[in-house]
Amino acid sequence: MEPLLRIRDLHRTYGDLRALEALDFELHRSEVLGLLGPNGAGKSTTMRIISGALAPSAGAVEIDGIDLLRHPIAAKARLGYLPETPPLYPDLTVDEYLDYAARLRGLRGAALGRARARARERCGLTHSGRRLIANLSKGYKQRVGIAQAIIHDPKVVILDEPTGGLDPNQIQEIRTLIRALGEERGVLLSTHILPEVEMLCGRALILHQGRLVHEQPLDAAPPGNRLALRLGQPPDPTELAGIAGVTRVEAGDGKHLVLHLSDGTDPSGIADHCVAKGWRLLEMSPVGDRLEQLFSRITLGESAP
């Protein structure tokens, strides 16, 4: 399958500083791809180049098979971009703003009306068209930001820290929206929240000092092969080791015991067993955030930007 976004040997320097070096990656349809890296790694530079706001020093960007540098207008027509700070005009209503965004994308007349209705519906703004942007909550403002990014129905959507500064409910809503967008398009998602990447992305790229240092598939990850347990009345560890699916028991941090599970073991069976035995199950959680560990290992020792 042809990728929706193809980045080839991308370089960008700022004076003597090499902000990006030999970056290569692809984004496919129905994929949410995470872009990770510590501050200064080159994420914004990458997103700004793909959005056409910044020229690369060398390399190529293809959006849906169209070369961004040779055919910028056609390529950008297939791309939607939500920068970290959404480009909103507080004095406009949601509809006025979406109409403005649609006109910038060359939409007029009936097509514009349809685009506005579709973007509003997609982003849960059906009843908010006449509201002034200034009066919207931060979560709704972010929905409007995403609505402008998809107003022209692009195949590729770039979202830069889309859940930054939102409260937990708003975060959930925006994540649901991102997941839905990713079903029908290609989404490049930059975020500092590693669990968010694990939740939403099928794959993550880790940038460090301008280079792609790791590419991690997340779909195939075993669903928590280690479990931390806190029991009010823990039995002898050999009893825990005897539970079906448990391959090993570790002492953990004193409060918790860590169970190693064989692939495919359902943690709820372990919970049932503990309850049935009267061991007073107080807490049970998967151990270790693999991506977090990977991230710190790869980017450790980074100098402050």
Residue 190 Cβ vs ligand ADP, minimum distance, rounded to whole Å: 7
Distance CA(189)–CA(268), nearest Å, equals: 32
Minimum CB separation of residue 226 from ligand ADP in Å reads 31
Reading the block at residue 53, the tokens are 């706001």
**DSSP characters for 245-295?**
TEEEEE-TTSS-EEEEE-TT--HHHHHHHHHHHT--EEEEEE---HHHHHH
Given the complex with ligand ADP, which of 23 and 119 has the nearer CB atom? 23
SS3 146: helix
Residue from 23, 41, 144, 177 binding ligand ADP (CB under 6 A): 41
Interactions with ligand ADP, residue window 43-102 (CB under 6 A): 43-45
Minimum distance between the CB of residue 48 and ligand ADP, rounded to whole angstroms? 8
Which one among 9, 14, 180, 266 touches ligand ADP, defined by CB under 6 A?
A: 14
Amino acid letter at 268? S
Which lies closer to ligand ADP via its Cβ, residue 34 or residue 139?
34
Are 6 and 61 contacting, i.e. CB atoms less than 8 angstroms apart? yes
The stretch among 38-46, 107-115, 148-156, 292-300 that binds ligand ADP (CB under 6 A) is: 38-46
Applying CB under 6 A, which part among 36-44, 85-93, 119-127, 266-274 lies near ligand ADP?
Answer: 36-44
- Residue 228 in tokens: 């931390």
Which of 3, 34, 40, 56 is in the footprint of ligand ADP by CB under 6 A?
A: 40
Q: Which of 1, 17, 251, 304 forms a contact with ligand ADP (CB under 6 A)? A: 17
Strands (E), the chain: 5-14, 17-27, 31-36, 58-63, 66-67, 79-82, 156-160, 186-190, 203-208, 211-217, 226-231, 246-250, 257-261, 281-286
Cβ proximity to ligand ADP, 16 vs 219, nearer residue: 16
Of 27, 44, 26, residue with least CA distance to 36: 44
Rule CB under 6 A: which residues touch ligand ADP?
14, 17, 19, 37, 39-45, 305
